[in-house]
Structure 1
Amino acid sequence: MEFQYHLPVNLLFGRGKSDAVGEKAAALGKRALIVTGGSSAKRSGLLAKVEGLLREKGVSSVLFDKVKPNPLTTTVYDGAALAAAEGCDLVIAVGGGSSIDAAKGIAFQTVNGGDINDFIFGRKVSTAALPLIALPTTCGTGSEGNGFAVMTNPQTLDKKSLRCNAIVPACSIIDPLLMTTMPQSTLACVGFDALCHNMEAYLSALAQPLTTIQALEGIRLCAQSLCQVYEDPSDLEGWERLTLASTLGGMVINSAGVAAPHSLEHPASGLKDIVHGKGLAALTPLIFEQSIGGAPEKFALISKLLGGRDEKDCAETIRELLSKLDLTTTLGEQGISEADVDWLAENCLKISAAGLSNHPLVFGLEEIKRIYREAI
């Protein structure tokens, strides 16, 4: 048995821990760029709270609130330009995975400059970025627990992740109380994303003992909590379990990577800007159905953890879960058409070759096209 596991992330987990953001920021810098979306952090009062906690500890702040779902490389450039102009020495992400990913990109771009796509595609390498604090308000991407930052190039529509230890948050403050204001539809999407991270990392060819332990626990926690919290948002213990499952999913893909569902979904949301969790919901059962022979014992265990019997009903068990979350959908319902299939499949091979190679069965171009057509 041989493996390597390295993940230099500092997690502060628990109800009310967001109160520590000022103290943690003061240890890292004096002027923070707060990166968030346009409205939810403001509406909930969290943004004002964070700004106040920073002031109490002597940290000034500048607001960058231009982040949209499926963040763009151009947004990262805009945020980095503001951080540089304002002399920021620290970045604080407040929001969901899009805000955290954009903040990671901004922290990296501020220091490195140039074309960030060179780093995304591995043509250049850097180990430098501004320190980052992540304050997640959704339990899905797990971006608080890894060195990935997914973003879309609006010129090519390539949706791909920047990956390096420099953008692992210096501190991630994971407060389950911040999750409870999510709309029900958002919860369904991000919760299923968290489940997929754990399932795909467990199935991955890069899985090793530590990632397997984390991934199986993440699947178990999702199975315990996702539908319960969806039906009863006052269940704080359920929020804790689901939030931990999300963070575990982020951590585990840092080492084991993702597999075919994420590999096929990224081109779809890159092309049509669809909600990531809905894209995964349209694709995952179909992909798993056609992958059972590659790792029947693993699909059997996934099924059992989710309430099924064995590998034969794994896909159907996932469909039943999606139905309970009102997340049953198709790519066609998300705006994808037959005319998009060739581009999607070719882009998938271009940007997601690593994830495809991790899957228990490695799909070729025509098989990928067939899955896309079935998902429409």
Structure 2
Amino acid sequence: MKVDCHIPTKILFGAGRLNDLATVKLPGKKALIVISGGTSMHKYGYLRRVQELLAKQGVENVVFDKILPNPILDHVTEGAELARKEGCDFILGLGGGSSIDSSKSIAVMAKNPGNYWDYIGGGSGKGLFPKEGALPIVAITTTAGTGTEADPWTVITNGSEKIGTGWEFTFPVLSIVDPELMTSVPPHLTAYQGFDTLFHCTEGYIANIATPVSDALALKAIELIAKYLPRAVKDGGDMEARENVALANTLGGMVETFSSCTSEHSLEHALSAYYPKLPHGAGLIMISLPYYKFFQGKVAPERYAKMAEAMGEDVHSLPEDKRADAFISALEKLQKACGVDNLKMSDYGVKRDEMDKLATTAKETMGGLFDLDVYRLTHEDTVSILQEAYK
């Protein structure tokens, strides 16, 4: 057995850890702070606090505040130009996965020539290697969904192509995970983000490159999400729940680093590339039950049983040939407990006759994840899963 474990990120985890920004070693003296185009970073004072804490170390900052929920190529280009123009020597992503992912991509393009899509390996990308690396990245997450604070991955949309990529130098050098910054996330987004974390872990657990290290992290994170996500959705101020969901999220990023997502993420990326108002986590929820039902007969049954057990199911009281079913049951129960069991693609404008197009886009843009499934999905399989998921 050979296992590589490499996360070159210093992670400061826990309530109140944002304050450490005033004293922790930083990778430069002038930050480009990347935030969303929304109001939350201003409304809740997170941006002001970060600027004040940086100032205590004599670190200057410039703010780039245009990032969309599904970040786009144009804003990567614009942010990188601003970083170069202002002489920023590191990038600080503040907010959810979209802001931190964008900070990673901006950090690459602040040092490399050409178009960011030159360095993308899927779709219409050229698959070039960014030889100049990236500016150092600091991640301060205010949501618990993507795990991007503990992995090198970044997902950017270019037209109908929504593609993830990453290199060793797109790991943050420093990540701060402070659950106190997550209490302002509304219930529905708390649920969507929590299920994104869950699926990072369930996908990582059934991927064909899973290792004992990724398995241990995945099962613990699945346990935490099943136990604490309904509480965090019900009461955003429940700090025990927020802290444990945040921990699950960071563990999920580690799972993505040591294992991988699978084709479930490819399918969702196709959906939200065409329909960018669809939250990523919501799209995953829509796809999940048909997806995991399809793979139930393909994945070793003890893996489904162990995920069910992590979610609180008493699998040992069931006949051995029924234990895998308990994972599907647990997933259905968790969706109901979080109020996300009736999400509909049609509510976001998706049409039933688009499933063939979506399946094709998923394979063309994120085909690498199909290679990490234990069973190779055909085009017909992929269309069938999407059709079953459609409401």
Task: Settle same-fold status: TM greater than 0.5.
Answer: yes
- Give the C-alpha shift of residue 316 in structure 1: 2.9
Matches of 2:333 and 2:344, distance apart in 1: 15
Contact 2:147–2:197 under 8 Å retained in 1:
yes
Alpha-carbon contact 1:5-1:255 (below 8 Å) kept? yes
What residue in structure 1 maps to residue 288 of structure 2? Answer: 284
- Structure with the larger helix share: 1
Find the partner of 1:136 among 128, 136, 141. 141
In the alignment, residue 344 of structure 1 is paired with which amino acid? L
Farther-moved stretch of structure 1 (319-328 vs 280-289) = 319-328
1:356 pairs with 358, 364, 370, which one?
370
Partner of 1:118: 118
Q: Name the CA distance, whole Å, in 2 between partners of 1:367 and 1:284.
A: 14
- Picking from 311, 326, 335, the partner of 1:322 is 335
| Cα distance in 2 for residues equivalent to 1:34 and 1:113 | 21
The change in CA–CA distance for 1:106 and 1:22 in structure 2 (over 3 A counts) is: farther
Question: Hey, what does 1:54 align to over in structure 2?
Answer: 54
Counterpart mapping for 1:287-366 below 5 A:
287-295=291-299, 296-308=301-313, 309=315, 310-328=323-341, 329-366=343-380
| 2:32 equivalent to 1:33 | yes
Q: Distance in 2 between matches of 1:8 and 1:351?
A: 28
1:236 corresponds to which letter in structure 2?
Answer: M
Aligned counterparts of 1:99 and 1:34: Cα–Cα separation in 2: 9
Matched residues in 2 for 1:237 and 1:80: separation?
A: 38
Q: How far does residue 28 in structure 1 lie from its aligned partner after superposition?
A: 1.1
Cα distance between partner residues in 1 of 2:119 and 2:108: 10
Whole-Å separation in 1 of the counterparts to 2:34 and 2:59: 15
Is residue 2:1 matched to residue 1:11? no
Rounded Cα–Cα distance in structure 2 between residues aligned with 1:262 and 1:135: 24
Count the aligned residue pairs: 373
Q: 1:247 aligns with which of 244, 250, 274?
A: 250
Whole-angstrom CA distance in 1 between matches of 2:26 and 2:372: 39
Alignment deviations for residues 214-249 of structure 1 (CA, whole Å, 9 cap, x no partner)? 111111111221112222323212211110100111
Q: Which residue of 1 aligns with 2:91?
A: 91
* Contact 1:105/1:162 (<8 A) preserved: no
Report Cα offsets for 1:45-81 as digits up to 9, x if no partner. Answer: 0101111111121111101010011100111001001
SS in 2 for 1:130: coil
- Structure 2's unaligned 5+ residue stretches are 316-322
Partner Cα separation in structure 2 for residue 8 and residue 107 of structure 1: 16
The CA distance in 1 between the partners of 2:178 and 2:267, in whole Å, is 31
Alignment partners' CA distance in 2, 1:252 and 1:137: 20
Separation in 1 of the partners of 2:58 and 2:223?
A: 42
Following TM superposition, by how much is the alpha carbon of 1:40 offset from its aligned partner in structure 2, in angstroms?
0.8
Partner letter of residue 382 of structure 2? I
Whether contact under 8 Å (2:186, 2:236) holds in the other structure is no
Q: How does 1:197-216 map to 2 (within 5 A)?
A: 197-216=200-219
Q: 2:297 aligns to what SS in structure 1?
A: helix
SS in 2 for 1:107: helix
Q: Is the 8 A contact 2:294 2:385 kept in 1?
A: no
Cα distance, 1:299 vs structure 2? 1.0
Equivalent residues of 1:332, 1:375 under 8 A apart: no
Matched AA of 2:146: T
- In the other structure, the counterpart of 2:320 is none
* 1:147 equivalent in structure 2: 152
CA deviations 1:136-178 (Å, max 9, x no partner) are 0000000000000001012xx1111121011100100111111
Asked if the contact 1:144/1:169 (under 8 Å) is kept, the reply is yes
Distance in 2 of aligned mates of 1:3 and 1:51: 40
Question: In the alignment, residue 51 of structure 1 is paired with which amino acid?
Answer: Q
CA distance in 2, matches of 1:46, 1:195: 26
Does the 8 A contact of 1:227 with 1:325 survive in 2? yes
3-state SS of 1:3 partner = coil
- How far off its partner does 1:119 sit? 1.4
Distance 2:212 2:308 in 1: 20
Separation in structure 1 between the aligned mates of residue 293 and residue 80 of structure 2, nearest angstrom: 43
Whether the 8 Å contact between 2:359 and 2:379 is mirrored in structure 1 is: yes
- Percent identity between the two aligned chains: 34
Question: How many Å separate the matches in 1 of 2:22 and 2:98?
Answer: 22
Q: Distance in 2 between matches of 1:149 and 1:87?
A: 23
